Amino acid sequence: MKTVRDYIRTIPDFPHEGIMFRDVTTLFEDPRGFRICVDQLLAPYAGQRIDKVVGLEARGFILGGAVAHQIGAGFVPVRKKGKLPGKVISQDYTLEYGAATVELHEDAIKAGEVVLVVDDLLATGGTAEAGIKLIEQLGGQITGCAFVVDLPDLGGRARLHGMGMDVHVLCEFAGE
């Protein structure tokens, strides 16, 4: 029986030489693989109240939307700076190769709402940390962070655990 990991393609030297890119589009395009993925992302949170699912730009939108639909929750995107209309709150963060900013509508999450954070990949944890800070700024209560792939050598899971987050991943790939 295939696992989620079996559906993920590895592309060497993308986007830079020496990087092994873990391509989840091959997982998304397969109906069985995608169903397994969504079901497994939700499994640890079965029976819990979740008001909103927050998807991190960009593949987190695909997963987050599917997860939100499955559990009957609202979906909220955390976007790159300048992509959301209306009033937003912003959070800067660092990447392996630079800095960036993410934004969230200031009225997207109400104080006390229970939130599940979803994305495809956990590397250094910078994007997830920035999203978590935005959610907490609005008073959201984060029940967990769910990812398809963890790159444990880059330390993202430890970073999120250090923030007190419950982290759920479906598979790991050693190295970068």
The active-site residue out of 9, 35, 49, 96 is 96
Please say whether the beta carbons of 104 and 138 come within 8 A.
yes
The active-site residue out of 59, 103, 113, 157 is 59
Residue 96 designated active-site: yes
- DSSP of 50-66: --EEEEETTHHHHHHHH
Distance of CA 8 to the CA centre of its chain: 16
Give burial (CB, 10 Å; 0-12/13-18/19+) of 131: buried
Residue 57 designated active-site: no
- Catalytic positions are 59, 96
